[in-house]
Each structure stands twice: as structure tokens, then as C-alpha cells.
Amino acid sequence: MKECCGLFGIYGDPEAVQKTYFGLHSLQHRGQESAGIASSNTELIQCHKGMGMVRRVFRAGSGILERLSNPIAIGHVRYSTAGASKAINSQPLLAEYSRGQVAVAHNGNLINATLLRDEYQAHGSIFNSTSDTEVIVHLLAKPTHLNRADSLAHVLNHLQGAYCLLFLFADRIEAARDPYGIRPLCIGQTGKGHYVIASESCAFDGVGAKFIREVEPGEIVTLDERGFSSRFFAEPGPAGRITPAHCIFEHIYFAKQNSHIFGENVHEFRKKLGRQLAVEHPADADVVIPVPDSGTSAAIGYAEQSKIPFDMGLVRSHYIGRTFISPDQKLRELEVKLKLAIVEEVVGGKRIVVVDDSIVRGTTTRGKIRTLRQAGAKEIHMRVSCPPLRYPCYYGVDFPTKEELLANNRNLKQIKEFLEVDTVGYMSLDGLLHCATLPADHYCTACWTGKYKIPVDTAVSKFGMERYQMRMFEQEDT
């Protein structure tokens, strides 16, 4: 359930399907489990989806893109989480209801999905998947909802949690972002004037589009034959307009360096974090090296601020994928070495600062530290560009359980000992928020503070999902 996904949509372009294919490639870092495209010729929606990366699902020479070719298209890539990898949950979800066909693509996590599902099942609905998305389609099809002036807005107001949604109807695309703006979603325009929607602006370059602006929290954007239109669906709460809760972890880890989200460029933001980290946690060292690729931007910032030379002491292999063989534990450790090679000449005999974006369980980090020691590093100073992760995310980031988080029950001394480093320095929350462009209260910081902006009934949310996962297990081809 917990997932990070990527969305792409484009209206009116004769090459809409091919551009969606390119756009999904640029968003591949947001999900490698499954990929899918639904397209419409204004009357009929077609859909193709499958397990694996975009390149595999729409493999060259298969003719699939050609058969899908239509001027309106949406696409989806899905993140792989261990147990729940299922073809039945791949997206877009294509369904028929009383108003015709609709295809839906979703990024985020609904915290009231279980409650809604129970309610709809009690009223006779049947479910064929375990995805939140199917719940949304049921809401959409409900006759009392359809009778509303703005039925889509009415439906969205039932949803709680994080969601960016693309709805492909036969004649239009409707894009919506939850009132808290937890996940990113932005609007672009191609040179020929066609509108494009994507989870991150990095998907625009590859299709010749320019970034226009982000979809606002609580906004519905419609792309149809009249062009572009916008409306807001979020009903003001008792305290007035909702303050956003952007997932700053998107900025720190998920998003691609060349994307522009939450008001600024990802790479520049991360460099600022690196500089701030150097201010908060200086080190007396010979060289600054990143854990590539996610720590590279912050390491450049750290090196710049600290005047310690930047270098590449760890080199990432481009060929080691997730389907690796791990016949036994000993060989499994070798596998880590294959993914991140060490340049001994950079680290041997040196006092090194290692910069990473975050530490989750700590075991992978410790593995890298050990190989750096073996390569002769004299001192290792670990620097992390976000605060210690202590709480689970209910809005779509797939952290392990609280108990598995390194920082959950450990103080800094214990963390230092666990990681086997000479010093460890985490970015402060204040420092982090200080680097950000938007006001500090516009971000969700729950994974560090445990303060969830959208109240979560954790028992229902967690247990409910697992219950459905169990009940709906369906085997798939490999």
C-alpha cells in the first residue's frame, strides 16, 4: 500500500502516448514495479500495463505504443514494496461505470481507504484489487455523488490522506492534488501549446515542455478541448484554509535533482542542506565524499561551505539491479560491494566526511562504513542531511516499522557506535526548515517529530491494509 509513484498526463498531442512513455521514463525513479498507460481517442479509452520498468512493459518492437496511439493519455509508474507486488494493483485502473469509462492513476496513500472500503462493501460493492484507487472509483460511480453539481470535487472531499490523482475520462483529463499538497504535482506546456501534468517537472524536459506552475493543494485542473481550467474543491475547515503539509522527504530523497517541487529546485535545496550541515556539524577532515547518487548534491554543498575538497570515493555501478542473486549471506555482503565500489586512492589514509541524505535502518550505511575502513580510511565522519527518522509515514512513504528505524530507540552516541563511525552529525529540524523556501509550517515533518498533520487512526490504517492484503492475495506471473 505504502507507495511512491509517478504520474504523467498530456492532452491533445498527436504524440501523446509516445510522450507519456518518455515522461514515465523520466519518472522511473519514482517506481520500478509496474508501469501503465491509458489513452483516449475522445470516445474510447484503451489501457496497457504490466509488471516491470517502462522499457520492459512497452518494449520496443512490440507495437504496443502504436496500438495505444491516441491524443489524450495518462501514465503511471509504481514503486515496489516487498509483499504487495501485484499485477492486479498496477495502474492506471480502467473501469466502466454509469457515465462510461474512466482510467485513474494515483500517487499517495489514503488513510481512510479501509473505512471507505468497509462502508462500500457493506453497501454491496465488490473489489478486485487492494489498491486505494479502486475505492476512489467506487466513490466516483455512486449515484448520489454523480448528482452533485461538481461530483468530482464532492468525491475528493471524502478522501483523507495524500493523493495526487489523474482521471482520464474519454474526453478530458482531470488532475487533483490533496488539500495538504503532500505529494508534488506540476503543470507544464509543450512548445506547441499542449498541456502536460507530471509528478515532477523533470518529466517535462524529455518531452519538450516547460514548467508552468505546481498544481495547488486542493486544486482540480482540467485539460480538455477548451484548454486548461482550474477550480478548488477543498472545503475550508473550521480554522479556515488548510495550511499545506508538503512531504519534505520528497525534497531530500525521492525527487530528481533537476525537478522543481514545492517552490524550488531539488539540487539547489540539497546543496543548501549540505552547507547548513557543514555549519551545524563541521569536521576536521581531508575529503568530503557523497553516498551517490542521493547524497551527491548535499556533499557538494558541504564541501563548498567547509572548504574541504569534494571527491568521489564511492562509485555507483550502473548495472546492478534489484533482481540480484543472493545465494547466501556471505555473497550478499559481496553484493553491496558490487553496487558501491570504493576508490581506495581517494579514501586510503584520509580523514573523510561521508554525506548521505538520510539513514533508515542503518545496516546498509554501516556496511559502507566498514568497506571504507577496509579501504584504509583513517577517520570517518558521517553527516546526514536530515534529522533522525523516528516515526512511520502514513501518507505514502514506505518506511519500515518504527522498531526497525535506527534512530527509534537510540541516542546519538548509540547511533555512532552502531554505525562504527568517528563522529555522526544529523541536520537539525530547524536547520532543515531554515533551508526551505516555504514557511516552516508548510511542510510535513512527521517522520522526525511524530506530529501528523492529518490525524491518523494508526490501528485502522495499518491493520486494515494488512487485512486486505491477506484477504486478497493473488498470484501473478513473474
The closest alpha carbon to 162, from 332, 388, 421, 396, belongs to: 396
Q: Which residues within the stretch 337-396 sit at the binding site for a second copy (CB under 8 A)?
A: 337-338, 341-346
Q: Is residue 12 within 8 Å of residue 34, measured between CB atoms? A: no
CB of 22 to a second copy, least distance (A): 6
Could you give the CA distance from residue 414 to residue 418 in angstroms, rounded to a whole number? 6
Binding segment toward a second copy, per CB under 8 A, in 238-246, 381-389, 449-457, 465-473 = 465-473
H or E stretch covering 464: helix 464-471
CB of 71 to a second copy, least distance (A): 16
Of residues 78, 106, 142, 275, which one binds a second copy by CB under 8 A? 142
Q: Which residues within the stretch 247-266 sit at the binding site for a second copy (CB under 8 A)?
A: 256-258, 265
- Select which of 5, 186, 435, 444 is catalytic: 5
Please give the size of the binding site for a second copy, defined by CB under 8 A.
Answer: 102
466 lines the binding site for a second copy (CB under 8 A): no
Q: Is residue 213 within 8 Å of residue 184, measured between CB atoms? A: no
Nearer to a second copy, 205 or 422 (CB): 205
CB of 130 to a second copy, least distance (A): 9
21 lines the binding site for a second copy (CB under 8 A): yes
Q: Which residues within the stretch 185-224 sit at the binding site for a second copy (CB under 8 A)?
A: 202, 205-208
Asked if omega into 400 is within 30° of 0 (cis), the reply is: no
Could you give the CA distance from residue 265 to residue 392 in angstroms, rounded to a whole number? 26
Of residues 82, 98, 240, 401, which one binds a second copy by CB under 8 A? 98
317 lines the binding site for a second copy (CB under 8 A): yes
Of residues 2, 50, 115, 189, which one binds a second copy by CB under 8 A? 50
Could you give the CA distance from residue 476 to residue 88 in angstroms, rounded to a whole number? 8
235 lines the binding site for a second copy (CB under 8 A): no
Residue with cell 507495437: 63
- 386 in catalytic set: no
Burial (CB count within 10 angstroms: exposed 0-12, middle 13-18, buried 19+), residue 459: exposed
Binding segment toward a second copy, per CB under 8 A, in 142-150, 351-359, 389-397, 411-419 = 142-150
Could you give the CA distance from residue 407 to residue 239 in angstroms, rounded to a whole number? 34
438 lines the binding site for a second copy (CB under 8 A): no
Could you give the CA distance from residue 369 to residue 364 in angstroms, rounded to a whole number? 9
Catalytic residues: 5
